[in-house]
Amino acid sequence: MTTLRPHYYDLFKCIADRCAHSCCKGWEIDIDEDSMGRYEQYPDIRCHIKDSGFVLQGEDERCPFLNKTGLCDLILKYGEDILCDICTDHPRFRNYIGDTEYLGIGMCCEAACDLILNDTAPFALLPSGEVLFGIDKVDAYKGNISEYIKQLYPEDCGCKDRTAFYLTLECLDPKWDELLKSLSDDPVTQDTRNAYIDSNSRAFRNLLKYFLYRHMGHRGFAAESVRLIAESAVRSGHDLSDICRMYSAEIEYSDENAILIKQRVST
């Protein structure tokens, strides 16, 4: 098996106690079988597990090992090797084509999100340097990135219809639902959205490349995702990275949501 990774992959580092949206809060943590077996020898860990997951605590649904300073007590006590697969892997993802494994880091993590949005290098997969899914064309395009998105996927149903569709999807965070409703009440025009995209062109170029890579060249998914993210950022006034993080958590971490969007748009 060959394993490839984006050029920025090795730069990722969890910012732990400096993370405002820790993945150790509000997410179910399913423990893999091997780790479950290992944890049987650790009564102080085993007592916090129910139905193959850590029992989350408090209103913010914290992992029982996330301490008050934002660090992981398991790592502090036993070292990183104690972690189960999901804690070791997050926010990394894997795709497979034939006997090649494509690694990446997902934007639901704010550190990964900042790394991806602010990247300045052309996209390349290491160690071979190959580029897939037409991502090199995004880097080579000299015009406005909003125009490139239009060429990539000309069908643009408009903010109102797009938002109405996203409102039918499974909602994981009520804040996301609120944001979509505000967009539905006051849709963003294409001109306003495109002006926003072009005034943040590096971030949107990187965003488009990220979606094309993660969703294996699915142009419709990439273009529609980028459009909704831009419209949400305009309407809410939130940081672009915050919207990207929320979008990834809502859509990319729900297989059902991602599939429904892909069914709605063509490749």
Residues engaged in binding ligand SF4 (CB under 6 A): 14-16, 19, 22-24, 90-91, 109-111
Burial 219-247 (b: 16+ CB within 10 A, else e): bbbbbbbbbbbbbbbbbbebebbbbbbbb
Cβ nearer to ligand SF4, comparing 110 with 231: 110
Separation between Cα atoms, residue 15 and residue 58, nearest integer Å: 23
Cβ nearer to ligand SF4, comparing 90 with 193: 90
Separation between Cα atoms, residue 181 and residue 187, nearest integer Å: 10
Cβ nearer to ligand SF4, comparing 15 with 121: 15
According to DSSP, the β-strands at 49-50 and 2-6 are unpaired
* Smallest separation, CB 231 to ligand SF4 (Å): 25
* Smallest separation, CB 233 to ligand SF4 (Å): 20
* Smallest separation, CB 14 to ligand SF4 (Å): 3
Cβ nearer to ligand SF4, comparing 92 with 150: 92
The token pair that represents 119 in the structure block? 């990247």
Residue type, 217: G
The C-alpha R_g of the chain, in whole angstroms, comes to: 19
Query: Shortest CA distance to 32 belongs to which of 71, 72, 87?
Result: 87
* Smallest separation, CB 28 to ligand SF4 (Å): 14
Tell me the HSE value of 100 on the side-chain side, using a 13 A CA sphere: 11
* Smallest separation, CB 207 to ligand SF4 (Å): 18
Residue 138, number of CB atoms within 10 A of its CB? 23
* Smallest separation, CB 15 to ligand SF4 (Å): 4
Tell me the HSE value of 70 on the side-chain side, using a 13 A CA sphere: 10
Separation between Cα atoms, residue 213 and residue 133, nearest integer Å: 7
Cβ nearer to ligand SF4, comparing 90 with 162: 90
Residue type, 66: L
Cβ nearer to ligand SF4, comparing 110 with 224: 110
Cβ nearer to ligand SF4, comparing 106 with 187: 106
CB distance 191 to 199 below 8 Å: no
* Smallest separation, CB 11 to ligand SF4 (Å): 13
